[in-house]
């Protein structure tokens, strides 16, 4: 690719730029964003070649545009891009939810919707900003593309090829499948962890309780250390799928409560056993094939 | 101490023996247990000096007895000990729940109840058996003693001094306080983690879901890798306090569900924010003062 434009040059966008450069897969990277300081720093660090100021100029002749700014800005950025989007340019994003992004794109891009290929790289760390960007963030990590019926296969392939150049592994789901899956394995656990810590923190004897919390509690609640604003946005963006998963979990807990209240040891053990076995199979089958553990952004 | 008797020479009991020996705090360690192979191995490894066979002989002249066998055996062991328990011997345990242990002791020891000082070392690893025993498992770790009104202070102090010789830090709670605290910060999180993995594993598209589970999910569910039998026993042993915590959490989740359904972003964010802040304070205030992270047994 000759020219790639990146909105948001922090961990996700900056690491994308660094990885493409390392692979020799891009000529010039233009950085766009609301923070002049971040753009300046990204240029000093060699993450981007040019700080874009004029939208038309930035997008002129671009092969690929990546939206890696906070998801709340997605629709506004797409709306700003739309008038300047040339036929040869493909736009993708890195948001943690997809149905809402597709709805935003439909509104903002109108007749140019076909040029937008939604994506979600399943990678991240707990650090942020241009300084956090590294050239191997995506190595061996999954990138889920949720192509639209309107997309030309060649455009989907352009996005896939860019991520493959970062050594990521491409998966494809529909936006609805994506949101159901991540509601279950990521968004619900975040909500549950926040809920537990808040519940404990609000008790009158919270200080006593926290004093005896140990490493099991620390790991269980690690994701409650994530950005509240980001997870508020993700929760609302994936409201419907998250409600479905939450209701399923509430039914599960209600069933477990009944077994506990009845002193049904065999009933409790069968749930614990099934969970332990399933988790062991997952760890064995999936994780063994993956890169060494790293922290997730908003997996 | 001249003579210490340990029932169960695995990680917990074996590490207690090793730590006392390292500190020069014990003359001779007698190992007792149901597995002849484990006792044999513990002796080969230098964890115990003598394999006890006759209860009367094993307890004769003992200063301290530690029960570190699975908690389901506690009452039977105490009942077997009772007839042979001499006035100069103090008995303690390492169980993860305390009210039920006190009830067992009351039944099994009768008039000798005052010689039993219940305890709970908050330490462990995911390994087990005599091979797993190490001489620094308890360094900087908390040991909660839940002394009884019947206990003589000198007997409580004998148990405390033994754990201090292992470089553990002594805390004191009532058995009821202990069980409430650990229901909130340990037993409930275990139940929640088991419940989530089981819920996902039972869905028709479980394979698809597990495929996209990442490091956030791994940490959240790590405790669901624990022994189902042990956690069945703990759940039942602490049934009442666990039900109270579970009901509090169910109310919390129901409230969060209402906020999510109403699209109340500010309401969600305030819970997420409070949780993130409380967790950060906890990590900062408590963990900074502790030893480097290690895995917990049944914290």
- The dihedrals phi and psi of B170, each to the nearest 5 degrees, come to -85, 130
Chain A residues inside the 8 Å CB shell of B220 = 189, 192-193, 219-220, 222-223
Nearest CB partner across the interface for B212, out of A181, A224, A236: A181
User: Which chain A residue has the Cα nearest residue B298?
Assistant: A216
Q: For the segment B33-75, what is each residue's pLDDT rounded down to a tens digit?
A: 999 999 999 999 999 999 999 999 999 999 999 999 988 899 9
Q: What is the CA radius of gyration of chain B?
A: 21
Measured between CA atoms, how close is B293 to chain A, in angstroms?
7
User: Which chain B residue has the Cα nearest residue A242?
Assistant: B260
Domains of chain B, first to last: 3-173 (3.40.50.720), 177-289 (1.10.3660.10)
- Among A159, A207, A2, A190, which Cα is nearest to A96's? A190
The answer to whether B259 contacts chain A (CB < 8 Å) is: no
**Cα B16 from Cα B121, distance rounded (Å):** 10
**pLDDT of A298 strictly over 50:** no
Question: Which of A163-177, B14-28, B94-108, B125-139 is the least confident region?
Answer: B125-139
**pLDDT of A182 strictly over 80:** yes
Percent of chain B with pLDDT over 90: 90
Predicted pLDDT of residue A290: 59
Predicted pLDDT of residue A70: 87
CB–CB of B195 and A122 under 8 A? no
**pLDDT of B296 strictly over 60:** no
B 82-101 residues with CB below 8 A of A?
Answer: none
Percent of chain A with pLDDT over 90: 90
**pLDDT of B21 strictly over 80:** yes
The answer to whether B230 contacts chain A (CB < 8 Å) is: no
CB–CB of B268 and A188 under 8 A? no
Region A258-271: mean pLDDT is: 98
* pLDDT classification of A285: cutoffs 50, 70, 90: confident
User: Which chain B residue has the Cα nearest residue A181?
Assistant: B209
* pLDDT classification of B124: cutoffs 50, 70, 90: confident
CB–CB of A257 and B247 under 8 A? yes
Predicted pLDDT of residue B183: 98
**Cα B21 from Cα B95, distance rounded (Å):** 22
**pLDDT of B15 strictly over 50:** yes
User: Which chain A residue has the Cα nearest residue B240?
Assistant: A261
CB–CB of A276 and B224 under 8 A? yes
**pLDDT of A297 strictly over 80:** no
Predicted pLDDT of residue B295: 47
User: Which chain A residue has the Cα nearest residue B144?
Assistant: A212
* pLDDT classification of B113: cutoffs 50, 70, 90: very high
Q: For the segment A212-260, what is each residue's pLDDT rounded down to a tens digit?
A: 998 899 999 999 999 899 999 999 999 999 999 999 999 999 999 999 9
A 114-173 residues with CB below 8 A of B?
Answer: 122, 142, 144, 171
Q: For the segment A118-139, what is each residue's pLDDT rounded down to a tens digit?
A: 999 998 776 789 999 999 999 9
What ipTM did this prediction achieve? 0.89
Q: Are A53 and A15 within 8 A, CB to CB?
A: no
Q: For the segment B163-208, what is each residue's pLDDT rounded down to a tens digit?
A: 999 999 999 999 999 999 999 999 999 999 999 999 999 999 999 9
Q: For the segment A5-60, what is each residue's pLDDT rounded down to a tens digit?
A: 999 999 999 999 999 999 999 999 999 999 999 999 999 999 999 999 999 999 99
* H or E segment and range at residue B121: strand B119-121
Measured between CA atoms, how close is B60 to chain A, in angstroms?
36
Predicted pLDDT of residue B293: 47
Size of interface A-B (CB pairs under 8 A): 297
The answer to whether B229 contacts chain A (CB < 8 Å) is: yes
User: Which chain A residue has the Cα nearest residue B141?
Assistant: A214
CB–CB of A278 and B142 under 8 A? no
Q: For the segment A65-112, what is each residue's pLDDT rounded down to a tens digit?
A: 999 998 889 999 999 999 999 999 999 999 999 999 999 999 999 999
Distances (CA, A) of B192 to A74, A271, B288: 34, 11, 27
What does pLDDT average to over chain A? 94
Predicted pLDDT of residue A296: 45
The answer to whether A38 contacts chain B (CB < 8 Å) is: no
Chain A residues inside the 8 Å CB shell of B225 = 276, 279-280, 283
């Amino acid at each position: 690719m000759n020219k790639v434009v990146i909105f948001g040059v922090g961990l996700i966008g900056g690491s994308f730029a660094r990885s493409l450069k390392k692979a020799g897969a891009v000529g010039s990277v233009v950085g766009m964003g609301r923070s002049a300081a971040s753009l300046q720093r990204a240029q000093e660090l060699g993450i981007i070649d040019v700080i874009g100021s004029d939208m038309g100029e930035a997008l002129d002749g671009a092969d690929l545009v990546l939206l890696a700014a906070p998801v709340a800005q997605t629709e506004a950025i797409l709306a700003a891009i739309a008038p300047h989007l040339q036929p040869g340019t493909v736009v993708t994003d890195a948001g943690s939810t997809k149905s809402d992004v597709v709805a935003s794109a439909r509104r903002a891009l109108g007749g140019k919707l076909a040029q937008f290929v939604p994506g979600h790289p399943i990678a991240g760390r707990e650090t942020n900003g241009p300084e956090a960007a590294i050239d191997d963030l995506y190595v061996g990590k999954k990138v889920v593309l949720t192509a639209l019926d309107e997309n030309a296969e060649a455009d989907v392939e352009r996005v896939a090829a860019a991520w493959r150049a970062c050594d990521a592994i491409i998966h494809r789901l529909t936006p609805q499948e994506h949101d159901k899956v991540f509601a279950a394995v990521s968004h619900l656990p975040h909500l549950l962890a926040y809920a537990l810590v808040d519940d404990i923190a609000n008790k009158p004897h919270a200080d006593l309780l926290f004093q005896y919390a140990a490493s099991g509690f620390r790991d269980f609640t690690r994701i409650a250390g994530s950005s509240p604003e980001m997870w508020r946005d993700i929760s609302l963006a994936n409201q419907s799928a998250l409600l479905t998963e939450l209701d399923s979990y509430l039914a599960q807990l209600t069933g477990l409560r009944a077994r506990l209240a009845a002193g049904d040891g065999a009933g409790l053990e069968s749930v614990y056993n099934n969970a332990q076995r399933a988790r062991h199979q997952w760890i064995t089958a999936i994780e063994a094939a993956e890169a060494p553990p790293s922290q997730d952004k908003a997996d």
